[in-house]
Amino acid sequence: MARYHRGMKALFRRVAHLDMDAFYASVELLRQPQLRGLPVVVGGRRGGAMAMPLRAYEGRGVVTTSTYEARALGVHSGMSLMRAARQAPDALLLPPNFEAYRHYSALFKRALVGIAPLMENRGIDEVYLDLTDLDPDSRSLGLRLKEAVRGATGLSCSLGIAANKLLAKIASDLDKPNGLTLLDSDDIPRRIWPLSVAKINGIGPKAAARLYGLGIRTIGELAMADESLLEQAFGARLAVWLRESAHGLDARPVVTESAPKSVSRETTFERNLDARADRRQLSAILVELCERLAGDLARKDQAARTIGIKLRYADFQTVTRDLTVPYPVTGARDILTGARECLRRVALDRRLRLLGVRASSLSGPSDGAMPGHQGELPFGEDAARAVPGVIT
């Protein structure tokens, strides 16, 4: 890893991306260590803590996360529990405990800032760290950070260290779980270029599919792609970003503090879903998104005055709807209520490929948040009132 001169921080940085390994599942295994090494899935209803065979689960829901043993059987985040049960019927299912996840998230982040104070929060289980002015021995520093996380939580993490955020994020995923990957500019052709273009953070399924259609499947092929071809397909501005990213260029700083304008959660489905035929699955996904969004607001200590939804149809047309509520809200119950009201104003007569929920007009919860509206969302048939004919 190169040394960095203080006067040239804008051009030369050393950045780490730290990602907790199968975070939710790993937290659950702290309470039930006898399940270590087994395929474990976290998802479904709250309540209870005992594992049950996935094939015995009845009800709607989606996979929140899974252990690496379950992933090896084809079970991944966002998959419906019904499909997961067909894929791995003997896997063990545990209900999510978001309070515990937020607790362990706070523990590992507190341990990190004791060593690397310049931290950018990227979610409940990942952060960026600016290491530019710290110990120049990146391997030693990386091991120290990993040990601090292990000591504070008993959990493992994967860490990538590189010259910028883009490369650090890719690096943290190269040697999971429990990896430590140091990436220098000389490593890009050997370690980065053979990877799929989808490994670049910011290239989603739609953009990846368009690149595949151009015959560009790897990052190396993107780096060597004809500039005019990219401009024709994506426009001049995005074409420049694609080329720079493929060459490992990224000027973004680690942002230690920012006032969020909005927080959102969304998911792209593995197949296009019909609002009526797949109503139960869509309802479960909506509940899960609202739960996660409530967790994000709690972690950021924010309340929202506006709740919105985002839908993308099978033809890639995207629509959004927003609702301003009479008081700032933080709880999943209120977010879900607002999202349903927004859904009443959307035509659900076409198949869907994406669903998202957004909270905006944020403020501190003390700024008028309604008391008594931060309880857990109830689950079950009578937990949700239906948007007529579609998503409950």
What is the full per-residue pLDDT of the chain (392 aa) written as tens digits? 433 333 334 457 899 999 999 999 999 999 889 999 999 999 876 555 678 898 888 777 788 889 999 999 999 888 888 889 999 999 999 988 888 998 999 999 999 999 999 999 988 899 999 999 999 999 999 999 999 999 999 999 999 999 999 999 999 999 999 999 999 989 999 999 999 999 999 898 889 999 999 999 999 999 999 999 999 999 999 999 999 999 999 999 998 866 667 899 999 898 899 988 999 999 999 999 999 999 888 877 788 999 999 999 988 888 999 999 888 898 999 999 999 999 999 988 899 999 999 999 888 654 444 433 333 322 223 333 333 334 54
Structural domains of the chain, with CATH: 23-97 (3.40.1170.60), 193-258 (1.10.150.20), 262-383 (3.30.1490.100)
The structure tokens listed for 158 are: 């994967």
The structure tokens listed for 226 are: 């004809």
Rounded CA-CA distance 84/61 in Å is 10
DSSP-H helix ranges across the chain: 23-31, 68-71, 81-87, 98-113, 138-153, 165-172, 205-213, 219-223, 227-234, 236-246, 279-300, 332-343
Q: How far is CA 148 from the centre of its chain?
A: 23
97 secondary structure, DSSP code? -
Q: pTM surpassing 0.85?
A: no
β-sheet bridge partners, residue 279: none
CA-CA-CA-CA dihedral for 253, 259, 262, 268, to nearest 10: 30
What pLDDT score does 260 carry? Answer: 66
Indicate the angle between helix axes 138-153 and 98-113, nearest 10 degrees: 140
What pLDDT score does 259 carry? Answer: 60
Residue 233 burial (CB < 10 Å; 0-12/13-18/19+)? middle
Among 28, 69, 126, 291, the one annotated catalytic: 126
How far is residue 364 from each of residues 34, 251, 289, measured CA to CA in Å?
A: 41, 31, 21
Is 126 a residue of the active site?
Answer: yes
